[in-house]
Every structure is written in C-alpha cells, then in structure tokens.
Structure 1
Amino acid sequence: MKQSSIIFFERKFPSANMILIKDQLPILIDTGFGSEAKETVQIIREAGVSPEELHLIVNTHYHSDHVGGNFHFQNNYGVNIAAHKWEAELINNGDPEACSAEWLDQPVEPYRVDRKLSDNDQIETGNRTLQVLRTPGHTLGHISLYEPEEKILICGDLFHRDDIGWLNIFREGVASIQRSMESLEQLSKLRISQAYSGHGPQIENPQAAIEAARKRFEKWLGNPEKVSWHACKRIFSFTLILKDGLAKEEINNYLLNCGWFQDFARYSFQIQPKEFIQVLIDEMIRSDAAKWHDNYLVARASYQAPDKEWMNKNIKPKDWNFKIL
C-alpha cells in the first residue's frame, strides 16, 4: 500500500500553486498555466507520481493559471478532470465566456470536465477523503477542498496568506463581496491546521488569514471602488507577465481592445477608456505593481515569462472545436 501524503508546490506566475495528493488514487489540484504544462509534468514526476498514474485532476476554479495544464494532461495521458458543475457546463459547451478567457485576454487550450462537482461531494484518494466545499466569490463555481484527518484546507483564490482573490463584478456579479464573506464564514467553522491557497506561501495560521480577509471584504462593502482597483491592478499585472512587458507605444491600443479595461473604465470609474489609460498606469507605478524598464512597462511580481511561441497561438474557448452536452 502506498504511503499517503499531501504535497504543496508554490509556483511563480503565471502559474498558480498546485497540490498533489500522493495516495493509491493520486489527485492533482490545479495544473498551472498552459505554457508550463511540461514543467508541471516534471514537478509531479519528481514528487514520485507519473502523469499516467493520476486518477483525477481537480480544479478549484477555471481561470487560466489554474486550468492551463488540463489540455496537456487530458490529451497526452487521458487524465479525467473534475470541476464545479456550473463551470463545467460552460467549459463542456465551449461557451465564449468560459474561464473568462476572452474578457481577460488569457489563452486557454481546450479541455472537458469529466466529473461535475457539487457542494459536499467527496473525492476518494485511497486513504483520504476530500470534502468539496462550494466557496463562491472569486468565481461563481469556485470550490475549496477540506481533508478532515490532518485538518488541511485547499482554498484556491478565495484568500491567500496576505491577500484576497480579486473580484470580477462584471462576470460574477456585484454580490461577489457578500458571497466571498459567506464563503469565509463557512470555512471559519472548520478546524484547520494548515491551508494552501492558489498563490503565495502556505498559510500556517489559517484562522488569522480568514479573519484578515473578512475584514478587508467588509471595508470594501463601504468603498466598492477598492474592489475595482484591486481587480484592475491584478489583471493588468498578469497581462504584463504574460506579455513579458508592454512597450509604451503598444499599451494604448492593447488596453482599448480589452473587455475588462473597457468595463472597469466606463462602469466602475465613470471615465472614458482613453482617459483611464494613464490613470491606471500611474496607479500601477504608485502601488509598486509595475515599473518602467527600457521603455517597457513590466510587472514587479516574481514571474517566469511564458513561451512566446505558445502564447502566439492565443487559443480561447471561442476557438475550441468541441461541444459536450
């Protein structure tokens, strides 16, 4: 009988963190960004699990940094994928809104969801049982996973050790703050000794992190503009990571063609998109989210630049060639 262990991998952008449940039925939670799929395979191989052995991939939610490796695992190794049923239906129907990829301008290669999850479902790994907890806010179908024996929580992008997941009020709804707070309230009732989130280091004091997240969301209720600034800076930072920086002369045209930029400018800040460009750049610099380097605006976050050849394929759900009812 294989020894059971939970292995956490903290990864640089553009990939999200991953968790490998090494057991009789190995489970991989989230698969990183698509351009790093071969690196993802190597990471789990070095942990002692070959991709052919994987019983299941579970996605906490469908953003590109969490599901990007799905295509590689599914097409090369036949690994089944599980996700919340609401996001699964968008994925399996090739809906243009799937993964919010079009709106965010983030490429995602096609995959299908084989197992549709609901709240309180259980995922067996052999010696462990993971409880599925629906924790919406960051996305409507966001889930967390709880392992009761070791009291381990895998919380995706609901909250991090020193931050919270950005909220997409235009795709997930203006009640995203309240949903996030309800999700945190649900998790606060659990006995948690260790938590792993989608970004940043492991969370050694989960209750303190949950309380800090709750207080921040509470402040946002009275100042919705903060929700939009938080989202804009994180989306644009991720863009700068994917592009490995944007030349000064490219920025205007690029932003004006982005759905997220148009929506935040017009509806969150009530400013014409052309006028919002410099406002956003100034805030990126002021908040230390970005800097100028040789006439390029680059992200300050630590990252590994994606392969340009992979990025140039620019695949979005509207390009996917299948539809599963």
Structure 2
Amino acid sequence: MSDSVHDHPALAGLRVFERGWLSSNNILVHAAGDEAGATLIDSGHVNHAEQTLALVRRALGGNGRDEPLHRIVNTHLHSDHCGGNATLAREFGARITIPPGLADAVREWRADALSYDATGQRCERFEVHDTLHPGEALEAGGRRFEVLAAPGHDPDSVMLFDAANGLLISADALWEHGFGVVFPEMDGEPGFDDVGAVLDAIEALPVKLVVPGHGAPFTDVQAALARARSRLASFRAEPARHAKHGVKVLIKYHLMEVREQDEAALMAWALATPLFTGVWEHHGRGQADSAEGWCAMLVNELVSSGALQRRGTAIADTA
C-alpha cells in the first residue's frame, strides 16, 4: 500500500497486512485502555497460517509491546478469510467471533454447509466462541465498529464501519476494482440485488478510507463504487458470463491452493466439486458436452490469458 494510505489517520493504532489473493487481508487492531488484548479481523488461508502467525507475532511484539491476541473476528467464513483461525487460536488462546448465520455449522463442522466441500477448498476446523450480529457494535482498539450486513458475495458476510474515523472494513463487498464472486447466483439463488443494495449502503456512509478483503486500502470510494456498479450491471445483463467468471475464479483459486496439478487430477477435482458441476448444468451445457470438457475449455482460456500455465502434463499457477 502507498505511504500516503499507510499513514492515513483512519489507520492509527491498526496494522493492515495486505496479502495476495489466496489469503484475504488481515487487520490487526491494537488494544487500547484496559482491553484484554488485540483483535485480528480475518486470518487468511490455511496454507498461509504460519506466515499469518509470524506477521501477527511480529506486530504484537514490535515497538516494545508484549501484547496478547485476545480475539479473532471473521467478516465471513470463506476459506481465504478464516483459514488461519485454528493456528492463531492454538498459539494465542484467542477467542473466535463470527457472523451468526453459520455458527451451528462451525460447531458441528459441517463442511458442506460451510462451502468448503462445495468449492473443493481446504479449511482447518476451528471453534467458535462468540457471534457478532448486524446492528451490533464491535469495540476494539478504543474504536466502535458498527456491524453491517453485507450479503451478495456471501449471504452471511458483514462489514465493519468505524464512523468516528471514517474507516470501512468492506471484506469482499467492495474492492477498489470490483467485488467478490456472487456465490448465491452461482448456486441458482438471487444475489445481484443484494450486491447493489450493499453498494448503495456504502455510498450513504461517510467513508474516508476502505480496507477491502483483497487489494490495497483506498480513499476514492466514489470511483470504486462506479466501477463496482458497472461490473454488476454487466453481470446482471449476462448471468452466464458471471457464472463462467466465477468458475474460472474457482479453478484459479484451486491452483493457487495446490500450486500445480496434473491435468487429469485437476479434471477429477472439478468433477468432484459440486459448485463446478452445478454451474455446468445451468450455464455450461451450451458450451461443452460434458463438465470435463467445459473444465478443459476454461483451463485453456486461463492458460491463454496467462492466469495459469502448462508444465508438461501439469497445470500450474502463475502467481
């Protein structure tokens, strides 16, 4: 992130760990006053759990601090946002707070309900200690974050808004250049209207700085909203285009997770991934006679665009 954004007064007492795309950004809110310890908002992917641990430990011990990590808060439960929960909880004894919608699924660890089976992704099991409901407030670092519902990308996602400092932690509801895949639409459920309503809600807030789930923090909120609305309009006009984009993201993300995979094994993964085969049933049949053929077509497109590469019989991530 640029020095000017890094030094923005809205970030005083916070550390933003800007990650790649496999792991979400993490926001460390240092304790203030008599608070029990720091709060970490989102914890990245399980593949990066040790890296996240090192980043957090260094920040907690920096500048003469010897600060505990008291709490982990997840904006939503996709694997790139909560994959470090278990590691950090073991290391620090931190409590884990999540939005309420999937709390029972976490307690019982129903991976199908938590999207990990459906998307073919990995996440280490963790415990939930508290829930944070839209309309409530999160007190951390001497700040009061309003908890705002942010359905669309994920039905149970929330954003956190610190009105006193104009700071919005938007998760995947708004990035500088778009927003996250609208997973309900890929499942055949409405989601585009929710995305639009959340963008309208963001516009109504006195936001000075946005820390998104991915990418650098940014201050030009109106420009980001305009780009997001343009993208949403194009997806509304062509739902099949959004579905194809979402499946490409799914494939790319899988290769980011495993780094490299024989093409036959990649096809087997796709055929065993319910979200992939479901989208092919609804949107891919007109482009390929089989789910495997559609996967091969999409992989070829990703290779042609430079998002993936071939290494002999293997497909590899380029990141």
Please give the range of the TM-score, normalised by the shorter of the 2 chains.
0.7 to 0.9
Q: 1:149 aligns with which of 150, 157, 164?
A: 164
SS in 2 for 1:82: strand
Q: Which residue of structure 2 lines up, in the alignment, with residue 204 of structure 1?
A: 219
Tell me which of the two structures has the higher relative contact order, counting C-alpha pairs closer than 8 angstroms and 6 or more residues apart.
1
Deviations 1:41-98 (CA, angstroms, capped at 9, x unpaired): 2112222358971222110110111101111122332211111110222212322324
Q: Which amino acid aligns with 2:267?
A: N
Contact 1:51 1:73 in 2 (8 A): no
Give the CA deviation at 1:249. Answer: 3.5
Q: Which residue of structure 2 lines up, in the alignment, with residue 46 of structure 1?
A: 58
Q: 2:151 aligns with which of 133, 136, 139?
A: 136
Which residues in structure 2 correspond to 1:121-270 (within 5 Å)? Answer: 121-169=136-184, 174-270=189-285
Q: 1:277 aligns with which of 292, 295, 300?
A: 295
Q: Does the C-alpha gap of structure 1 residues 53 and 22 become closer, same or farther in structure 2, counting only changes over 3 Å?
A: same
Alpha-carbon RMSD across the aligned residues, in angstroms, is 2.1
Q: Which residue of structure 2 lines up, in the alignment, with residue 17 of structure 1?
A: 25
Matched, 1:74 2:85: no
> Structure 2: how far apart are the matches of 1:145 and 1:173?
28
Q: Does the C-alpha gap of structure 1 residues 182 and 173 become closer, same or farther in structure 2, counting only changes over 3 Å?
A: farther
Deviations 1:240-273 (CA, angstroms, capped at 9, x unpaired): 1111122234333232222122111112222421
Q: Does the C-alpha gap of structure 1 residues 150 and 52 become closer, same or farther in structure 2, counting only changes over 3 Å?
A: closer
SS in 2 for 1:154: strand
Q: Report the TM-score when normalising by structure 1.
A: 0.85
Q: 2:16 aligns with which of 5, 8, 26?
A: 8
Contact 1:4 1:23 in 2 (8 A): no
Matched, 1:289 2:304: no
Give the CA deviation at 1:171. Answer: 7.2
Q: Which amino acid aligns with 2:59?
A: A
Give the CA deviation at 1:116. Answer: 1.3
Deviations 1:110-153 (CA, angstroms, capped at 9, x unpaired): 11221112112111124211111110111110011111122111
Q: 1:31 aligns with which of 43, 53, 66?
A: 43
Question: Which sits farther off after the overlay, 174-183 or 87-96?
Answer: 87-96
Contact 2:187 2:278 in 1 (8 A): no
Give the CA deviation at 1:285. Answer: 2.5
Give the CA deviation at 1:275. Answer: 2.3
Q: Which runs of 5+ in 1 are unaligned?
A: 303-325
Deviations 1:293-317 (CA, angstroms, capped at 9, x unpaired): 34422223x3xxxxxxxxxxxxxxx
Question: Which sits farther off after the overlay, 120-129 or 264-273?
Answer: 264-273
> Structure 2: how far apart are the matches of 1:30 and 1:74?
12
Q: Which residue of structure 1 lines up, in the alignment, with residue 6 of structure 2?
A: none
Deviations 1:180-220 (CA, angstroms, capped at 9, x unpaired): 11111111101111111111122231221122112211221
Q: Which amino acid aligns with 1:7?
A: R
> Structure 1: how far apart are the matches of 2:239 and 2:170?
24
Question: Which sits farther off after the overlay, 94-103 or 184-193?
Answer: 94-103
> Structure 1: how far apart are the matches of 2:315 and 2:109?
33
Contact 1:100 1:171 in 2 (8 A): no
> Structure 1: how far apart are the matches of 2:172 and 2:102?
15
Residues paired across the two proteins, number: 299
Contact 1:92 1:112 in 2 (8 A): yes
Q: Which residue of structure 2 lines up, in the alignment, with residue 55 of structure 1?
A: 70
